[in-house]
Amino acid sequence: MFALAPKRPYLSLMTTVQDTISLIGNTPLVRLAGPSEAAGCDIFGKCEFANPGASVKDRAALGIIRDAEARGELKPGGTVVEGTAGNTGIGIALVANARGYNTIIVMPDNQSKEKMDTLRALGAQLVTVPPTKFADPNHFVHTSRRMAEETEGAVWANQFDNVANRRAHIETTAPEIWEQMEHEVDGFTCAVGTGGTLAGVGLGLKAFSEDITIALTDPHGAALYEYYAHGELKSEGSSVAEGIGQGRITANLEDAPVDTQFRISDEEGLEWVRRLLKEEGLCLGLSSGINVAGAVRLGQELTAKLGRPARVATILCDTGFRYLSTLYNGEWLRSKGLPVPPWLED
């Protein structure tokens, strides 16, 4: 075996924190047995579903709100407005509740019902709009900016182009991975929604060691694979994965240290979602499965290049409980032409 459970446990998991905000981050890192075996090396998953809002976006939400407070833009009793596929909204609603702010969330209406129900349950004002192209003035991002401008005492979180998003990953996710892997990291990869995670972890890890390979894992239908491979923003196909799939270079992606790139199909990502569920007891969303597929590719390539089993990390972005009506529903899977696993046949 390639062994390598951490030599010392991650002690911060055993401490008491003084407020609920401090529960964000310091997530566990788990060695994934199936992916490690498939890649012939060690693949680690950062358990971002363990954040209070059950996704990686809690970190960005907290970073953005802290930044708006520090700049004096967000005042007591103010409102945070954001356009989101859902997870950022959930993170913002939780942090805003803990800090005494209101939340307005604009979301495309093709995202999972669970995310919409969750946002309403948390007390956010939810506005849904039809899914459109970014160039359309009614796109959820532009609608959220207008609503922020029209609301007294409101700030626009602007997760795509507000670099407080990636700074949260430079300052927290990257050093956590570096410590948890005992300073022995060969590669990192993940998919992109805003790019905050890929660019932030990439920049943060490169600051520890220039030798760490940073890879983009792109779903079908996104334009970044072609951009990093051939310098052209061009997309092909489509994906049902929520929260990932970008068509432009956001401010968070500028100067992202991307060394190599992979394109992963929904079928391949789903295969890993199902294997991780049935073999390792992890219930995850599709972006996590796509990330793991990318990590397996990166692990194989780095292992061949280095001549020893590589050590690669990726992000387990959110909980599968957020997709019970979609990824974990036989009828929905059939309607999308995706394979239905035996336990979801009815």
The catalytic residue positions are: 57
CA gap 145, 127 in Å, rounded: 13
172: Cβ–Cβ under 8 A, 6 or more apart, which residues? 25, 26, 59
Whose Cβ is closer to ligand PMP: residue 161's or residue 226's? 161
Among 47, 107, 192, 313, binds ligand PMP (CB under 6 A): 192
Among 53, 78, 196, 221, binds ligand PMP (CB under 6 A): 196
3-state helix, strand, coil in the chain (%, to 5): 45, 15, 40
Sign of the Cα torsion 59, 60, 64, 70 reads: positive
- 317 contacts ligand PMP (rule: CB under 6 A): yes
- 193 contacts ligand PMP (rule: CB under 6 A): yes
CB-based closest residue to ligand PMP: 243
Instruction: Provide the β-strand partners of residue 226.
Output: none
Whose Cβ is closer to ligand PMP: residue 41's or residue 104's? 104
CA gap 177, 201 in Å, rounded: 9
- 108 contacts ligand PMP (rule: CB under 6 A): no
Q: Footprint of ligand PMP on residues 136-165 (CB under 6 A)?
A: none
- 53 contacts ligand PMP (rule: CB under 6 A): no
Among 45, 204, 243, 289, binds ligand PMP (CB under 6 A): 243
Q: Footprint of ligand PMP on residues 65-84 (CB under 6 A)?
A: none
Smallest Cα–Cα separation from 106: which of 162, 144, 150, 60? 144
Among 45, 51, 53, 57, binds ligand PMP (CB under 6 A): 57
In the complex, minimum distance from the CB of residue 33 to ligand PMP, in angstroms, rounded to a whole number: 22
CA gap 170, 204 in Å, rounded: 4
- 244 contacts ligand PMP (rule: CB under 6 A): yes
CA gap 151, 144 in Å, rounded: 10
Smallest Cα–Cα separation from 203: which of 243, 163, 232, 231? 163
Whose Cβ is closer to ligand PMP: residue 158's or residue 303's? 158
- DSSP code of 344? G
Q: Which helix (H) or strand (E) holds 61?
A: helix 57-70
Among 27, 118, 239, 287, binds ligand PMP (CB under 6 A): 287
The residue with tokens 């500028």 is 254
* Pairing of β 311-316 and β 79-83: unpaired
What would you measure as the largest C-alpha separation in the chain, in angstroms? 60
Among 103, 112, 197, 217, binds ligand PMP (CB under 6 A): 197
Instruction: Provide the β-strand partners of residue 82.
Output: 105
Q: Is 98 helix (H, G, I), strand (E, B) or coil?
A: helix
Among 194, 213, 217, 314, binds ligand PMP (CB under 6 A): 194
Site string for ligand PMP, 168-187 (x = CB under 6 A): --------------------
In the complex, minimum distance from the CB of residue 153 to ligand PMP, in angstroms, rounded to a whole number: 26
Among 51, 55, 143, 326, binds ligand PMP (CB under 6 A): 55
Whose Cβ is closer to ligand PMP: residue 102's or residue 250's? 250
Q: Looking at 50-58, 139-147, 209-217, 231-239, which segment touches ligand PMP (CB under 6 A)?
A: 50-58
Smallest Cα–Cα separation from 256: which of 318, 168, 170, 180? 170
Q: Which residues bind ligand PMP (CB under 6 A)?
A: 55-57, 85, 87, 191-197, 242-244, 285, 287, 317-318
